[in-house]
Amino acid sequence: MIRPDKHLPKYYQLKEYLKQMIQNGEIVPAQKLPSESDLVRQFKISRDTVRHSFSELENEGWIYKEQGKGTFCAFRGSKKEQKIAVLTTYISNYIFPYIIRGIEETLCESGFSFSIASTGNNKNKEEECMKRFLEQDISGIIIEPTKSAKPNINKKYFKELDKRNIPYLLLHATYPDLDSAYVIMDDEKGGFIATQYLLKLGHKDIAGIFLSDDLQGIRRQSGFLSALKKYNVTVNNEFLGNYKTEQMFSYPYNFTINLLKKENRPTAIVCYNDQIAIQVMEAIRRSNLKIPGDISLVGYDNSNLAVATE
């Protein structure tokens, strides 16, 4: 507490008081500190005194300020103690650079360093990466599940994270056998909305192409089928294409080429994502058909690929 009878400046007393609270764990990293006004009222000191204390605490790395938000407790310690591992299926292509950039900016703002790796949506690569991360001194890990629709053969590494009290967050999908925090989209609703859009335009012969070894694909297909059911449209199994990760650069194009050769071809196609829609678009053009004059096409993700195409 601040005492007028002490032969120490009031700003210094406040500074040491706040430092003690941080060291004792009463104020934890990323927690917002009381405002200048609150501290002025609580300790009956001037605003300049509070600002002097905050300035020194910030210079010494105890706190940091965010414009318009307030003052927060900083993360302290070595970089190793602050490292967050990030494991995604891909890094450099499609929408992933934007996702990685967002993660990087947020971690850096909070005082963390980070280490990143990708699995290529390969279970064996996921195992290799998790082994390597567990050999490092990490504070937490963000993981995008690999082939999330398949059994989790790397469960033991997640159990090891639990054993070491290392928190982890799943991104884009979950593993059903893990009780963990996650950040995901409502992929089923997204698939439903995409299909409903075409149905409202009057389409009934709608094809769908979906990834089968990730939960995102399973759920988007579920939304696709739910929309057809709601609008009393019979599912034509010949119009439904499923591919595995290893087929992502061949199956969508070939499936569409064969689909468009049929006498009763679809009038619209829903794609798992924009990356697949680009292949489907090429197949449509090779078949001497026009979009949307002859056939309609819907992607997913609102990526730059969609903006860059006609």
pLDDT (tens digit per residue) in 192-222: 999 999 999 999 999 999 999 999 999 999 9
272-290 pLDDT, tens digit each? 999 999 999 999 999 999 9
**Does 18 share its domain with 95?**
no
Largest CA distance in the chain: 95
pLDDT of residue 79: 41
**Does 103 share its domain with 214?**
no
Domain C-terminal end among 45, 73, 101: 73
**Does 170 share its domain with 192?**
no
Domain containing residue 41: CATH number: 1.10.10.10
C-beta of residue 71 within 8 angstroms of C-beta of residue 32: yes
Residue 3 pLDDT class (50, 70, 90 cuts): low
Percent share of the chain, pLDDT over 70? 94
Residue 271: inside a domain: yes
Q: Helical H runs in the chain?
A: 10-23, 36-43, 47-59, 96-109, 123-134, 155-163, 187-200, 215-230, 251-260, 274-286, 304-308
Domain C-terminal end among 20, 51, 73: 73
**Does 254 share its domain with 298?**
yes
CA triplet 291, 295, 296: central angle to 5 degrees? 75
Residue 1: inside a domain: no
Domain C-terminal end among 20, 38, 73: 73
Q: Considering the entire predicted model, what is its pTM?
A: 0.72
Query: What number is the average pLDDT over the span 105-132?
Result: 92
**Does 40 share its domain with 141?**
no
**Does 134 share its domain with 68?**
no
Domain containing residue 117: CATH number: 3.40.50.2300
Sheet containing strand 296-298, edge to edge, reads 240-243, 206-211, 268-271, 296-298
User: Residue 292: is the preceding peptide bond cis (ω within 30°)?
Assistant: yes
Residue 302: inside a domain: yes
**Does 160 share its domain with 264?**
no
Residue 280: inside a domain: yes
Distances (CA, A) of 17 to 2, 10, 288: 8, 10, 75
**Does 191 share its domain with 291?**
yes
Residue 80 pLDDT class (50, 70, 90 cuts): very low
Distances (CA, A) of 214 to 174, 175, 194, 220, 244: 10, 10, 19, 10, 9
Helical packing angle, 187-200 and 215-230, nearest 10°: 40
**Does 160 share its domain with 84?**
yes
92: DSSP letter: S
Residue 5: inside a domain: no
Residue 274: inside a domain: yes
CA-closest candidate to residue 208, choices 125, 299, 139: 299
What are 181's strand-pairing partners?
169
**Does 290 share its domain with 194?**
yes
What is the number of domains present in the chain? 3
Residue 200: inside a domain: yes
Mean pLDDT estimate for the chain: 91
At a CB cut-off of 8 Å and minimum separation 6, what does 32 contact? Answer: 69, 70, 71, 72
Whether 107 shows a pLDDT value over 80: the answer reads: yes
Give the residue numbers spanning the domain of 18. Answer: 10-73
Residue 30 pLDDT class (50, 70, 90 cuts): confident
Residue 4: inside a domain: no
**Does 220 share its domain with 233?**
yes
- At residue 113, φ and ψ (nearest 5 deg) are -95, 165
**Does 222 share its domain with 278?**
yes
